[in-house]
Structures are given as structure tokens and as C-alpha cells.
A and B are shown apart, each in its own frame.
Chain A
């Protein structure tokens, strides 16, 4: 067994909260620049220029690109030969979030109870997804998720007979309904298959893939392209002001499913498509 001290996890998580919120990935900035080439609406172009400038300011001045610094959604892949020592790894992750959000001047947006709604004042607890994988490494990924785009997400239990076209129609209709609310240009995460809860997880996981990287299966890569074209044909455009670029990318993740079911989910991410990743 390889021992990993939970303090190491904590310190990485702290830094990752800050890194993800200050430094927008090159893949996203490149997608903005690509979009400028195809956007026809002057107001839409102005929005894209503001987003490029915004990302530059955030990086140079080390400030959050968006005031909604999100729910700390954390994926942890634990090698099965790893032994965590020094305490509870979940507590360590939450301590990392607490330090990152406090020391990084990030906004605290979490309430302790969904109905009573009292702010926890340190952005904890995080939402943590653990997975066990072969090996002796730990991979940490954080994807801070803003409320505006998270609210524009949905799961639907389709009928198997609806097939490929059924999923496409469902996703396009959903992006249309979301309209300007999730801060377009967006990234559209799509889950297909599995069960009710698995499909939502797939849609979220789909958002972690770097922009511009298609699904490895050509069938789904083709479907991603087709949905992206249809979504951009809606004309919603940057910020919903009208234009060619409603979404920067569509990512699909799939899982086998039951003979009677055909679940599909859409998790929309805003252009502040933030991630940070570390390997221990």
C-alpha cells in the first residue's frame, strides 16, 4: 500500500479552488477566439471580446473570473493501493475548500439546509464523487459550478423507441428553454444511459472533458457535432442577445442501460467552464 497523508489532499484542494476560479483554461479561451471568427452579431462579438478580456484580467490580477465562484464539485479517483493516513479524507477535502474559498477571496455561496437557507460562510461542504481505480495514485479534479447554469439542468426518462433522434430533440429543446439564463456561450454536458442518478452524474462528468476533444466513439462524436450545430442554429447567441454561438461544445458520456429504460440528462455549464486537476 502507498500511504497518502490527508493534509496533502487538503493543501492541493485549497490551491485548486483558487486556481480554477482565477485561471480559465486555455481550451476555453481558444474556444472564445474561434467563436469570434464565426460570430456575425456585433453585440455577440462584443460579448466574446469582453469574455476574453475578463479571463485575461482574472489571470493577471489573480481574481475570480466570475463572482459566483460556485459549488465546489470534486471528483476523487483513488487507486486501490492507496491508504489515506492522518485523518478523515472527506474532512481534509472540506478543510481544503474552506481554506481555498477564504484565503482566495472567493464568494461563499453554500447554505447549510436547502429549506432553512443559512449560509455556512466558508463554502463547505463540497459535493464529492469518489471512484476506486487500479493503481496507487490519487487524482483530484475540482469543477466549481455556478448556480445560474446548474439551475438550467435536467434529467428525463425517455422511451427506448425514441432513440438517437429522441435524445437530440430533448437536448436542443432544453438548451432553447434555458435561453440566456446559463450565461451562453455554454458547454452542454449530456448523459445517456445508466439509471436515474447515473445519467445525471454522466452529464456532469461530460463537462470535465477538455473543449475540442470529441467522444472517442465516432458514433457519439458525430452526435455531438450534430447537436452543436442544431443548438447554434437556435440563434440564442452569446448571452442570449442573438447570434451564431450559443454553445462552445457538446460533450456526451454514456453508460449501458436497462432494456426498459433510456435515461438522458443535460447539465449545462456556463462559459466560466472551470476546472483544476492534480495527481498525487
Chain B
């Protein structure tokens, strides 16, 4: 299995070269945010205010980690279901975010926004949270500390394994992957 390596922040060219089905290792900074943080970010945008982080070129990881044990950088930290972020995602892509990491399918508005703004939706392996935590080398809360596990964290990752699900060209691995391996009744 071939693997591509990319570093954040992502450039226009990085994004355009990624295709649905690519296995990718991400190195650099990613920002964690779940529903509660998304809601707050979009409320700020609605009020015309600045976001607590500059999202241009950045990757957002949908994660609410488990508490860190003493000596750990972070507790187990796998992806949460991305669909809950769908309503907020186009607004953040308009702010320049280039990558999203979660698990599960996105709605049509998100897929369209990925094409329009040139961005990519990756999935990391849901439930492989102890493994993922090992790729996170540093983590600090940068906004909404009061949200606990749902606060926005600036995480430094090294070789964080993800797979491209929706690329900027309109391809969808969840649809194409299943089609490729589907067995229709009467076959084989």
C-alpha cells in the first residue's frame, strides 16, 4: 500500500494532488474541534467577529480526547462522526480551512464546498484511538477551555495516518470503495 506524506498548513497544490483513496501521513499542526466548538466559531462569524485561530491552510480534526494519564501528552484521541459538523463546515471552509479529519459520510453541501474552496475530507480510523494518540506529540488548548474534551486544541502531529474520502475533485471513497467490492446477488 503506497502512502503519501504531507505537512500542514496545506497549500492549494497539496490539496489538488490528493485523490480519494490515497493513504496519507500528516505531519504538523492540526486543530481539534467538535460540535460545541464549531457552533461557537460559526456564531462568531455570524456576528462578523474574528475567529480565535486563523484557519487559512489549516486542518481541523474532529476529536474529543479521553483525559491524559499522568505523563501522557494526550489521552486516546480517535475521530468522531463528522456528519454532526456538516451544518457548520461550509462556513469554515470559506475561512480557508484546507483539510478536515473525522469519520463517516458528509452531506452534499459539504462535498460541494470542498470542491468550491479546494479542500479535502480525510477519515482516520475510528476507534484506533490509542494508536492515534501516539502520533500526537504536543497539545495545548487554544480556545474554549470551558468545553473540556470539546475545547479547541492546537495539536502537533507526526505521521498521523488518514485516508482521503472526499477530494477537491468531487470523488467519494465511501461510494466508490463500496462499489468496487460490492457483490451483487448471484455473483461469485
Contacts and interface: CB of A to CB of B under 8 A. Distances in A.
Interface string A166-205: 0000000000000111010000000000000000000000
A61 B64 CA distance: 20
B127 A270 contact: yes
A237 interface: yes
Given A234-B182, A242-B177, A180 B104 contact: yes
A67 B78 contact: yes
Given A46-B1, A64-B76, A68-B80, A57 B130 contact: yes
Interface stretch (B48-56, B65-73, B110-118): B65-73
Contacts of B103: 148, 180-181, 183, 239
A154 interface: no
Given A41-B177, A41-B181, A271-B127, A181 B81 contact: yes
Contacts of B89: none
Interface stretch (A47-55, A133-141, A217-225): A47-55
Nearest to A47: B125
B105 A51 contact: no
Contacts of B183: 233, 235
A68 B34 CA distance: 13
B18 interface: no
A115 to B, nearest CB: 15
A148 B126 contact: yes
B28 interface: no
A105 B181 contact: no
Q: Which of A53, A66, A244, A270 has the most CB of B within 10 A?
A: A66
Contacts of B44: none
Interface string B168-188: 000001101111111111000
Interface of A: 40-43, 45-47, 50-51, 53-54, 57-58, 61, 63-69, 105-108, 119, 146-148, 151, 179-181, 183, 233-237, 239-244, 270-272
Contacts of A54: 125, 127-131
B75 A64 contact: yes
Contact of B129 (A47, A61, A67, A239): A67
B23 interface: yes
B163 A67 contact: no
B119 interface: no
A67 B174 contact: no
A148 B81 CA distance: 6
Nearest to A185: B127
B176 A242 contact: yes
A33 to B, nearest CB: 16
Interface string B118-151: 0000010111111101100000000000001100
Contacts of B182: 233-235
Contacts of A237: 177-178, 181
A252 B165 CA distance: 33
B163 A43 contact: yes
B130 A181 contact: no
A62 to B, nearest CB: 8
Contact of B105 (A40, A47, A57, A179): A179
Interface in B75-90: 75-78, 80-81, 83
A202 B34 CA distance: 32
Contact of A107 (B65, B125, B134, B185): B65
Given A43-B1, A105-B67, A148-B104, A241 B128 contact: no
Closest 10 A/B residue pairs (Cβ): A242-B177, A235-B181, A235-B182, A183-B126, A233-B183, A181-B104, A54-B131, A54-B128, A42-B1, A235-B178
B131 A180 contact: no
A180 B123 contact: yes
Nearest to A64: B76
A79 B120 CA distance: 56
Contacts of A183: 103, 126-127
